[in-house]
Amino acid sequence: MKPRVDWVLFGASAGLIVAVCIPMALAPDRSSAIVGDVYTWIATHVGLLYQWMVLVSTAVLAVVALRKVGGRRLGGDDAEKEFSDVSWVSMLFCAGIGAGIMYWATIEWAFYLDQPPFGAEPGSAEAEEWAATYGIFHWGLSAWCLYCLPTVAIAYPYYQRKIPYLRLSTALTGLFGDDIANRPLGRIVDFIFIVALVGGTGTSLGLATPMLAACIAALFGIEQTIWLEYAVVLAAVLLFAYSVFRGLNKGIKILSDVNMTVAGAFALFVLFTGPTLFALKHGTNSLGLMVQDFIRLNTWTDPVLQTNFVEDWSIFYWAWWLAYGPYMGIFVTRISRGRTLRELILGMVGFGTFGCALFYITLGNTAMWMDLEGVVAARELVADGNADQAIAAVIGALDWQPLPLIAFILVTFIFVTTTYDSASYAIAASATRQLEVGQNPARWHRVFWAFALAVLPIALMFLGGLEAIKSSVLVVSLPLLAIGVAMIVSLFRSLRE
x/- string (CB under 6 A) for ligand NM2, residues 416-455?
---x------------------------------------
* Cα–Cα distance measured from residue 482 to residue 145, given in angstroms and rounded to the nearest whole number: 17
Stretch that binds ligand NM2, among 93-101, 375-383, 405-413, 434-442 (CB under 6 A): 93-101
List the one residue out of 108, 196, 93, 12 whose CA is nearest residue 379: 108
Residue 100 touching ligand NM2 (CB under 6 A): yes
* Cα–Cα distance measured from residue 229 to residue 240, given in angstroms and rounded to the nearest whole number: 17
Task: Enumerate residues 346-405 that contact ligand NM2 by CB under 6 A.
Answer: none
Residue 321 touching ligand NM2 (CB under 6 A): yes
User: Distances in Å between the alpha carbon of 315 and those of 50, 53, 138, 420, 484?
Assistant: 6, 11, 10, 24, 16
Residue 109 touching ligand NM2 (CB under 6 A): no
Q: Which of 3, 457 has the CB closer to ligand NM2?
A: 457
Q: How far is the CB of 422 from ligand NM2 (least distance, A)?
A: 11
DSSP H helices, 161-183, are 173-176
Residue 320 touching ligand NM2 (CB under 6 A): yes
Q: Which of 321, 369 has the CB closer to ligand NM2?
A: 321
User: Judged by CB under 6 A, which of 134, 324, 420, 448 binds ligand NM2?
Assistant: 324
Stretch that binds ligand NM2, among 165-173, 307-315, 319-327, 474-482 (CB under 6 A): 319-327
Residue 97 touching ligand NM2 (CB under 6 A): yes
Beta-bridge partners for 5: 432
* Cα–Cα distance measured from residue 147 to residue 341, given in angstroms and rounded to the nearest whole number: 14
Distance between terminal CA atoms of the chain? 29
Residue 204 touching ligand NM2 (CB under 6 A): yes
* Cα–Cα distance measured from residue 231 to residue 220, given in angstroms and rounded to the nearest whole number: 15
Beta-bridge partners for 340: 73
Q: Which of 193, 324 has the CB closer to ligand NM2?
A: 324
Residue 101 touching ligand NM2 (CB under 6 A): yes
Q: Which of 31, 353 has the CB closer to ligand NM2?
A: 353
Stretch that binds ligand NM2, among 98-106, 107-115, 282-290, 487-495 (CB under 6 A): 98-106
Beta-bridge partners for 432: 5
Give me Rg for the CA atoms of the chain.
Answer: 21
* Cα–Cα distance measured from residue 319 to residue 49, given in angstroms and rounded to the nearest whole number: 10
| Contact present, 28 and 463 (Cβ < 8 Å) | yes
Binding site for ligand NM2 (CB under 6 A): 96-101, 204, 320-321, 324, 419
